[in-house]
Structure 1
Amino acid sequence: MKNGKIVEHGKHEDLCQWNKEYDELIKSFDKKYRGNSQLLVDSTTNTIKSKRLTSTAVSSSNINLIFNREETEFDITKGVYGVQAIDYRVGGKYLSEFVCAMALLYSIPIAASPLIFFYISQEIFNAAKKMHERWLKKINRAHISIFSSVFPSALINICSHDLQEVDHTLPKLKITILMHFGIILFTITILGIICPWLLLPMAIFVSVIIIYQLYLRRLILALNESKIDSITPIYNHVVNTVTERATIQAYRKEREFVKKFNKFCDANATYDFMIKATKLWIEFRIKFISAITLAVVIVICAVVNGVKDRYQVLGLAFICTIQLTQSIVHLTAAIIDAYGSLMTVGYIDNYIQNIPQEIRDNIDRRDWPLIPSIHFQNVLLINSTDHEPLNFSIYAGEKVGNLNIVDINIDVLRQYVDYIPRVPILFNGTIKYNLESNNRRTDKEIMDALQKVFLWEKISKFDNKLDSNASNLFSVTEKKLLSLARIYLNSTVFNRSIIIIEDLEPDTELINNILQDVFKDFTVIVLSNSPNWNAKRIIKLQHSKETRALKSNNLLACTKK
């Protein structure tokens, strides 16, 4: 056929033998489809029966084409005429099914991710819970000296920022890292199935990112360490400002303290900004390298014969490459944030583990104290060798309950010895919670205790009465009265309790009367600067040396000059 006209017809074997042009056409056709489809097709001549529609036409400049259909049977080779249909079937239908199957497999992790992440988050949450419970237990059992040597801001930092890192930030980062790591592995697997040659640029890309991460690791750790160190001065400054507010106002230093606070906040924000800028710069470089990787993938797909003519495969390869680069960007950012969180957790965990703990004895003396008497032996009120230690007894035995205090269970000791500081601290909660947190006392018993310390008249005027928030309702003296009401409620055996009170001024007379009437069976020690105390024994301290004076009441008052 030339120019749309049939110039010669006959059997295939005859045409191949006598028509050189026809023979070359068949050979080129066979070679083309054998190379593109990569199918091994048997070129032996198989006789098949087919129906062929042939048309003959008589062409002239003034006559239209006339088609005469004729059914004929002839022999063709499978390698020549069948290869196109086979190639279309394999390259079209099967390849489409392959792409659809890969897309479905790709969607399985996404569909199952909520269940997987729920399980992972629960495990991480349980691990975080165990960790911060261990921290709080260590702090609760810490030696009393740790609270006098450690700034309150450090404990505030542990109980706020650091616990947030454990309970919230670190679990979220771990889930993000696991999610994107799984996507990266699955994407690389699909690229390997599409074309093994695509694994080469992927391996180079991932290796470059890992090396780049290790190169910047020290910088990131240094920035995170500086950020962590810059938080504690902020807490210190806030605590000192609140505590010494009166002094600051007296010397008119408000602006100076505000400027200092802004300076600490700016320092912390600077390190935070530098970390975020570093993350953005790393993200830019990763995206630049990913663009080069995508270009290499395009070149490989254009060169490989089995991929370049299959647009479904090309599209899947490009989508997987883009998804891989995006996942690596998010994974890198999560790893950078995890550096800071893990550093924080490591520092605090090491600090908590090294806190000196209380010595716990194996003897559980639940019957202590039988007699509420106290013995002071070699007690120093100041850590100096220039001062003499205090040695005195408070009746009924040389030691507390005739036992050495180090032999008493620490929980029992705390249960029967109550201390009221100069400025009592109330818990964040209701009045009822501050008086009896275990809910073992009825409202009537609580009201009776408040009446004994002359507070019920004020509390009864509140709208919520015992359920009112106790945060900002009471003065310092009233807080001491609440502490006495709490001691009265929680003391199961009244003649076995010891109360230590610090600095009762200016309402000395009111509290003295309450101690004489309500707590007459208690052993009470009062630390005060006022000598006007009706106590059974008064110990005056002058330059850490004691002088003794006896009076006729049941209180022991220690006055110091």
Structure 2
Amino acid sequence: MNNGRIENIGTFDTLADVLLKSIKRQDSQEDVKKAEVKEMPTKKHERMLSIVSVASSIGKEFTEVEQNIQEEVEKGQLSFSMYIQYYRTGASICLLVCMLLLFLIAQVFSNGCDLWVAHWTNGETANAANNTKYTVNVSSAKSNEINNIENSYDFIESQKNYIYIYTIFIAGSIILTTARSLLFYQVCMNASKGLHNKMFSNVLKAPMRFFNTNPSGRILNRFSRDIGAVDEILPKATIDAITAFLVMLGILMMVFIVTPWMILPAVILGILFYFFRRVYLSSAQDIKRIEGVNRAPVFSHISATLYGMSTIRSSKAEEMVIHEFDSLQDQHTGSWFMFLACSGALGFYLDCISLAFLILVTFQFLIMETNSGMSGNIGLVVSSSMILIGMLQLGVRQTTEVSSNMTSVERVMQYTKVEKEEELNPEATEKPKNWPSAGKIAFKNTYLRYAPEDPPALKSLNIVIQPGEKIGIVGRTGAGKSTLISSLFRLAPIDGTIAIDDIDTSTVSLEHLRSNISIIPQEPILFSASIRYNLDPFNKVSDDVIWQALNDVELKDTIESLDQKVCEGGSNFSAGQRQLVCLARAIIRNNKILVMDEATANVDPHTDSLIQTTIRENFKDCTVLTIAHRLNTIMDCDKVLVMDSGKAVEFEAPHRLLQLPGGFFTKMVEKTGPAMEAQLRQIAKIAYKLED
């Protein structure tokens, strides 16, 4: 059925096949249109398609028409300030300077071990040359160095001194290296916690437009993959890179001490190394950013698929959904493979650079006759240069890994700069006591825009709701019913005035405003915690009050204990029971204003009747706003507000509105059919007489 007309008729299997073919036909037509658009030379930008997360019922009218904005992607190389912000989040400048000195001192002790072993070896060689009975022909250069070594025996009296000094270097290297690693990981842990907490705080306080324009997968991507990279990959890659370059620096210093002329080829090779690294980073960072952007739709698709699993299976659309997922996964895998290919190419060129340096170092001892021809020096330089190959490969790989994973820090930083609701309403700071005490609500020339460039979704609203009145809000889809509730909670920028008990809500802090208005949404929200936490998360009431609220909604016999666990999403309760738990929560809050956003739309008639009865008994002195899904639930209200295109077109008692032939509310009642119309008119008439 559609608008009172029969569109299709047949068995379930037949209709399911027809619906699935229709969906596939629409998809193929959209693909053809996209191909035609791509061929147009004047078209510069393509429309970005993304899967929209399931929004809350309060903002559903907005999300139906709101387009998801394209994800912000930085370009070019990462600025040095990004590194400073990251480490400043984890430690103070003084601690960072101390950590840097600790790295340098630890490396000095580590290289001191190698230098001392070389000195020890040369000393033993010189001692053996002096004590041997055989004549050893050595060059004059070597003889001079042997004489210098003999003079050093003035303060090295025995071989034990060599062992003692070597032990000091080894112990210092172990202790300082361990200390620097622990300190560095602690700084990184503090930085990761700080970034996560700041991002989490900003997202929680972000305006609703942020959630309406960013799919859930995009937000989950920041909190899962990006935070995971900052937690696990980035610290290890960073300390490996720092260690590798300190080791390389120490090796080069030892080579320069033994053979000073090697400074020139080292500088040339260093320039080549810098050139290859820069070429790699210019593409690798952008590829890494693209990989992060391509990952978000995968999360969104999985989230949407899990939420709509029953619909997908009933429509037999599994193959279509699998095809969509494979396409998204192929895009992500392609960008990830490109990143790995770039890393492999960089490793090959670095191996060539390292091999060239090793050849120069080795053959210079064979070609040139220098003062560095002692066996200890030769062994030290050659073995260190061989280590240099692995260190250079590791160091550059890890530095590029650091630069690539710093894009995760960059993406997290973007969400730490999200504008907060408090910043949009800096003057909203008041927290009046015992407010609201009556529940009077006045809308004065109120306009609401979800975005400054959008037309108003709520237009020139001027109504006054007296304390204790029960108001039913009706209208077709998109008429502005939920938008009116959004304005009451100030979920979007508002022009005009909304006053509660003669206090302008724009001057009241958002936390104080929202905590003093109760709401029962269409989709009940339960936390994965105990019953007590779901009903009283701030521990403000006693257990007796909680049990009384459960008794009011007839759930006392169902709940075994207040410590009973609620599964994820309240899956261990039926839809009606979840709605009753939300109603019990509102009873405990005992606020003067209650909002019901189509709370009985998805429950059975018995639960609907129970909810209506409970509201009449427990909220008789409160102002109740009910967005109606079934007209019979609001026919006994004090007044009915009819919305159309964001405007209030009718606002009066139901019985009086039904006396207007051709009125908006009258037409809505007439569309229910003659029998239901007569019943609704009778309910409205009885309620009107009782009120009089």
**TM-score (ref. length: structure 1):** 0.75
**CA shift in 2, pair 1:440/1:345, >3 Å:** same
The amino acid that maps onto 2:372 is V
Q: Report the Cα offset of residue 214 of structure 1.
A: 0.7
CA contact (8 A) 2:520 2:586 kept: no
Q: 1:474 aligns with which of 573, 583, 590?
A: 573
1:99-157 deviation per Cα after TM superposition (whole angstroms, max 9, x unaligned)? 99689747744542221111111122222222222222222222233222322222222
Q: Report the Cα offset of residue 284 of structure 1.
A: 2.2
CA contact (8 A) 2:441 2:465 kept: yes
1:36 corresponds to: 142
Q: Distance in 1 between matches of 2:543 and 2:266?
A: 72
**CA shift in 2, pair 1:400/1:35, >3 Å:** closer
Q: 2:238 aligns with which of 163, 167, 174?
A: 174
**CA shift in 2, pair 1:151/1:330, >3 Å:** same
The amino acid that maps onto 1:453 is V
Q: Report the Cα offset of residue 384 of structure 1.
A: 5.2
State whether structure 2 residue 401 is matched by structure 1 residue 334: no
**CA shift in 2, pair 1:241/1:288, >3 Å:** same
1:257-283 deviation per Cα after TM superposition (whole angstroms, max 9, x unaligned)? 112112211221222122122212212
| Mapping 1:318-467, distance limit 5 Å | 318-355=382-419, 357-358=421-422, 359-361=425-427, 363-367=429-433, 368-379=435-446, 389-396=460-467, 399-460=499-560, 466-467=564-565
Q: Distance in 1 between matches of 2:167 and 2:260?
A: 18
2:595 corresponds to: 499
| Mapping 1:45-84, distance limit 5 Å | none
**CA shift in 2, pair 1:220/1:265, >3 Å:** same
CA contact (8 A) 1:201 1:297 kept: no
Q: Report the Cα offset of residue 388 of structure 1.
A: 5.5
Deviates more, 1:204-213 or 1:395-404: 395-404
**CA shift in 2, pair 1:157/1:187, >3 Å:** same
| Mapping 1:178-189, distance limit 5 Å | 178-189=242-253
1:487-533 deviation per Cα after TM superposition (whole angstroms, max 9, x unaligned)? 333x2xx3534334334123421211121223333322111221112
1:196-220 deviation per Cα after TM superposition (whole angstroms, max 9, x unaligned)? 2344443333332111101222211
CA contact (8 A) 1:226 1:271 kept: yes
CA contact (8 A) 1:360 1:410 kept: no
CA contact (8 A) 1:380 1:388 kept: yes
The amino acid that maps onto 2:578 is K
| Mapping 1:207-226, distance limit 5 Å | 207-226=271-290
The amino acid that maps onto 1:408 is V
**CA shift in 2, pair 1:550/1:37, >3 Å:** same
Q: Distance in 2 between matches of 1:35 and 1:159?
A: 65
CA contact (8 A) 2:530 2:563 kept: no
2:110 corresponds to: none
SS at match of 1:399: strand
**CA shift in 2, pair 1:88/1:527, >3 Å:** closer
State the number of aligned residues. 479
SS at match of 1:269: helix
Q: Report the Cα offset of residue 483 of structure 1.
A: 1.8
Q: Report the Cα offset of residue 327 of structure 1.
A: 1.9
**CA shift in 2, pair 1:171/1:32, >3 Å:** closer
| Mapping 1:526-537, distance limit 5 Å | 526-533=626-633, 534-537=636-639
**CA shift in 2, pair 1:181/1:103, >3 Å:** farther
The amino acid that maps onto 1:504 is T
CA contact (8 A) 1:191 1:198 kept: yes
1:307 corresponds to: 372
1:302-338 deviation per Cα after TM superposition (whole angstroms, max 9, x unaligned)? 3343333x33322221221122222221221222222
Q: Report the Cα offset of residue 161 of structure 1.
A: 2.1
Q: 1:547 aligns with which of 623, 637, 650?
A: 650
The amino acid that maps onto 2:440 is S
The amino acid that maps onto 2:245 is F
1:7 corresponds to: none
Q: Distance in 2 between matches of 1:88 and 1:465?
A: 79
The amino acid that maps onto 2:317 is K
| Mapping 1:102-141, distance limit 5 Å | 105=169, 108-141=172-205
SS at match of 1:230: helix
Q: Report the Cα offset of residue 297 of structure 1.
A: 0.9
State whether structure 2 residue 326 is matched by structure 1 residue 262: yes
Q: Distance in 1 between matches of 2:401 and 2:535?
A: 44
SS at match of 1:457: coil
CA contact (8 A) 2:428 2:506 kept: no
Quick one: percent identity of the two aligned structures?
A: 20
Q: Distance in 1 between matches of 2:591 and 2:294?
A: 51
Q: Distance in 2 between matches of 1:294 and 1:97?
A: 34
CA contact (8 A) 1:449 1:485 kept: yes
Q: Distance in 1 between matches of 2:623 and 2:307?
A: 32
Deviates more, 1:98-107 or 1:468-477: 98-107
The CA RMSD measured in Å over matched residues stands at: 3.7
The gaps in structure 2 that reach 5 residues or longer are 1-134, 469-497, 656-663, 669-692
CA contact (8 A) 2:203 2:418 kept: no
Larger relative contact order (C-alpha < 8 A, sep ≥ 6)? 2
Q: Distance in 1 between matches of 2:331 and 2:157?
A: 63
**CA shift in 2, pair 1:107/1:484, >3 Å:** same
SS at match of 2:222: helix
Q: Report the Cα offset of residue 407 of structure 1.
A: 1.0
The amino acid that maps onto 2:430 is D
SS at match of 2:462: strand
SS at match of 1:390: strand
Q: Distance in 2 between matches of 1:187 and 1:478?
A: 71
SS at match of 2:404: helix
Deviates more, 1:521-530 or 1:169-178: 169-178
Q: Distance in 2 between matches of 1:386 and 1:354?
A: 24
SS at match of 1:434: helix
CA contact (8 A) 2:203 2:415 kept: no
**CA shift in 2, pair 1:126/1:86, >3 Å:** closer
